[in-house]
Structure 1
Amino acid sequence: MTNHHGKEFLGFLATGPAVGIPENIWKWLACPKMKTDELGRPIQAPYGMRKIEAALIDAGFKAAIIDPDHLNKHLPYAKALMFSHHDYFAFGPPSSTWWGITRKEPVNYKSFMELVNRPEIKKEKERGLKILAGGPSVWQWLWREDMIEKLGVDSLVDGEADKVVIKLAQMVLDNEPLPKYVYIGGDEAPSVDEIAEIKGASVNGLIEIMRGCARSCRFCSVTLRPTRYYPLEKIEKELLVNVRNGVKHGIIHSDDVLFYGAIGIHPR
């Protein structure tokens, strides 16, 4: 987990292999380790993970984002381990381009493989730990179905999981079998009021201001989701969470930032 020295676009280096220098130096340049508290909770975490964490906390679950280096402190007591990744198997354009040119595995892919193959995770999996995978690149598992069983993933969650994750967490606690694949379509997307506000700082102060897009580009899956504008009060609350946690700069994010508040669009 990293904030790329506070330089968001340095993250693109982490989508490639070490070139011309040792890998540990490459990692320090692209993705230095994040500071954590005594429990292993990172001082900043990816925004999407913060949203899921907040949804679970608001629903009464004991949930936290834990830096991979500190998982061993918590795994013996955990009921579920939830993964998110921007590019699980390096199928994304930057990673696949790097891999194609250099013929070397990208750092982000290698790091994830090292994490999921840790002995302590396999040990707890045998005990009954449930593993769920989500995030923006969860679609990649559908092209590597062999890895689902090999890595012991119980459920894939594809889409805006703000509401669904609460149901899945309860199923874990109730020892109910989890669905292998959950797809959240536009009709099931959460409304603005159903989207929790982050509890801890996001990486480099990134916050979203809307979801969905009404441009109707035929090649883009974002148009399948309803347009929802965050009210200014909700945006301010998340900005203040970052400020209170020492983040002095920020990034506003959406599927189309310039579309925010567009005249003639009726958001849901």
Structure 2
Amino acid sequence: MAEILLTADRTLMSDYHHNEFVGFGTCAPPNFIPDGLYSFLFFPPIKTKEGIPAAAPYGLRKIEAQLLKENFDALTVDPAHIGHYIDKAKVLGIHVMDPFGLGPASSTFAAILKKEPFLAQHFRRLLEDPYVVKAKKKGLKIIVGGPGAWQFKYRPKFVEEHGIDCIIDGEAEKVIGRIMQAAINGEPLPKYYEVSAAETPSLEEIPDIVNPSVNGLVEIGRGCCRGCRFCSVTLRPLRWYPIDKILREIEVNHKDGYT
């Protein structure tokens, strides 16, 4: 069993019937469509083999690749099968996109229907999974990161109540190994770690994914050339991937049928 488990909540571990735009249905709260039918229509479970997902969110695959590159014992698992793997794990890494429904679409739907969006519900359910709660009591460390990491600044009570040990905000390739090792060793962890500009990885330091990403999505670069002052992405250097790097990641997806 792996020391480090990587996962994401139910709304993110889906291929959305191979249509990314269908995934926007996760932004809505429960409505007139029965929950079971709604989840099937908008975020059906990803295919798995012994609890290992056939594909996972791209950002999660990048962290997986970096940890494997640094020889960590890391494994990406489906949230519905986490109980089969978590008993021996020392760290649970969770990828988040919009964990509290504060994004534009989800906050709009929530305001109209006066209910919590599915994506926020399922993130909370992941942390409240009995297997996760049991492992947490035995010393499991929970580390969260991803595009939605910024939202935890506005939910400190939730962080404490659900035992989240560390939130990483930013491109984590150069820091994830150090933080994971500290967690494995039982050392103190920063509650909120904001990756500095100096710690942002160069093009050469960004690993290729080694397992398929949801719907075969790959990135072609990082940073942004627009320079909007309200956006943290523009604070990072602009890096375009060379075509051979892009093709290598496409091939990882293609050989497993994700194109």
Match of 1:95 among 106, 115, 139: 106
Q: Which runs of 5+ in 1 are unaligned?
A: 250-268
Alignment of 1:185-264 (within 5 A): 185-247=196-258, 249=259
Q: Using the alignment, how far apart are the partners of 2:52 and 2:203 within structure 1?
A: 27
On the 8 A contact 2:165/2:189 being kept in 1, the answer is yes
Q: Give me the whole-angstrom Cα distance separating, in 2, the residues matched to 1:215 and 1:97.
A: 26
Q: % of aligned pairs identical?
A: 45
Residues 46 and 203 in structure 1, CA contact (< 8 A), matched pair in contact too: yes
Q: Determine if contact 2:61/2:211 at 8 Å carries over to the other structure.
A: yes
Alignment of 1:22-61 (within 5 A): 22-38=34-50, 40-61=51-72
How do residues 140-179 of structure 1 correspond to structure 2 at under 5 angstroms?
140-179=151-190
TM-score if structure 2 supplies the norm length? 0.93
Instruction: Determine the C-alpha separation between the residues in 2 that align with 1:235 and 1:226.
Output: 19
Higher alpha-carbon deviation: 210-219 or 62-71:
210-219
Instruction: Please report how far the alpha carbon of residue 46 of structure 1 lies from its aligned counterpart in structure 2 after TM superposition.
Output: 0.4
Q: Counterpart of 2:142 in 1: which secondary structure?
A: strand
Structure 1 moving runs of 4+ over 6 Å: none
Structure with more relative contact order (C-alpha pairs < 8 Å, separation 6 or more): 2
Query: Could you tell me which of 106, 110, 113 is aligned with 2:124?
Result: 113
SS of aligned partner of 2:49: coil
Does the Cα contact within 8 Å between 2:97 and 2:148 map onto a contact in 1? yes
In the alignment, the residues of structure 1 paired with residue 47 and residue 227 of structure 2 have an alpha-carbon distance, to the nearest angstrom, of 41
Q: Is the Cα contact below 8 Å between 1:44 and 1:201 reproduced in 2?
A: yes
Could you tell me whether the CA contact under 8 Å between 2:175 and 2:199 is conserved in 1?
Answer: no
Structure 1 residue 85 displacement after superposition = 1.3
1:15 paired to 2:27 = yes
**3-state DSSP class of the match of 2:230?**
coil
Aligned length: 247
CA root-mean-square deviation: 1.0
Contact 1:185-1:224 within 8 A present in 2 as well:
no
Deviation, 1:15, is 0.7
Cα distance in 2 between the residues matched to 1:75 and 1:108? 23
Specify whether residues 214 and 185 from structure 1 end up closer, same or farther in structure 2 by C-alpha distance, changes over 3 A only.
farther
Whichever of the two has the greater Rg, that structure is 1
**In structure 2, C-alpha distance between the alignment counterparts of 1:185 and 1:176, rounded to whole Å:** 21
CA apart distance, 1:188: 1.5
Match of 2:152, SS state, is helix
Partner of 2:75: 64
Paired with 2:117 and 2:250, the residues of 1 have a C-alpha distance of 33
Q: TM-score, normalised by structure 1?
A: 0.90
Q: Distance in 1 between matches of 2:153 and 2:229?
A: 22
Shift of 1:174: 2.1
Answer yes or no: is the 8 Å Cα contact 1:210–1:228 preserved in 2.
yes
